[in-house]
Amino acid sequence: MVALQPEDVTDIDLRRATRGYDKAQVDRHLARVADAYALSLRRCEQLQELLRSLEDELDAAVGEAEASAREVARLIQRSPTTQAPPLETDKVLDKLEARLTRSENEREQALVDLRQMSEHASELGQLLQVLEAERVSTVIEPERIEEDPASATLMADLSTRLHEPSDLETI
């Protein structure tokens, strides 16, 4: 059987008869029939594509279900009959616990280092304030630094601190 196309409905040559139908009315009706038929064909193609897509999805789901069932069966067959975990699991757990302990120790050391650096930064900030005050006073009264023994001691202390290795350099 040959498939009927919408053009087959509208492009037909009918013989004329003496008592026939109104040609314009027949043409309008055939055009409506052809449009409805074309719409039906498009819908049928869409439904066939949807069916193929759903079949593909179903095949994939069945494949996944079968693979999952095989994996469950394999796990059931391999599962130990006793409650003791396998030796490999114990080794993995021991390694993980050791890594956790090492990480906790490193974290604690980092916190200690951070506290020390914070204290050192605070000391440097205080020293900077003292130096800034001293700088301002020496700019205003340059001869005062030579006369004041406390300023001389502060400058010596500063010189010593600047030439000593700091805690930050040892980290």
In a domain, 59, yes or no: yes
In a domain, 154, yes or no: no
Q: How confident is the model at residue 163 (pLDDT cuts 50, 70, 90)?
A: low
Instruction: Provide mean pLDDT across the span 66-84.
Output: 75
Angle at which helices 149-163 and 87-140 pack, to 10 degrees?
A: 150
* Domain assignment of residue 37, given as a range: 1-79
Instruction: Provide mean pLDDT across the span 49-54.
Output: 90
Instruction: Report d(CA 90, CA 71) in Å as an integer.
Output: 23
In a domain, 92, yes or no: no
Confidence at residue 147, expressed as pLDDT on a 0 to 100 scale: 62
Confidence at residue 140, expressed as pLDDT on a 0 to 100 scale: 53
Segments of 14-115 assigned E as strands: none
CB 156 within 8 A of CB 125: no
Query: Coil, strand, or helix at residue 42?
Result: helix
Instruction: Report d(CA 152, CA 90) in Å as an integer.
Output: 67
Count up the domains in the chain and report the number.
Answer: 1
In a domain, 107, yes or no: no
Confidence at residue 46, expressed as pLDDT on a 0 to 100 scale: 92
Residue with tokens 């030796």: 87
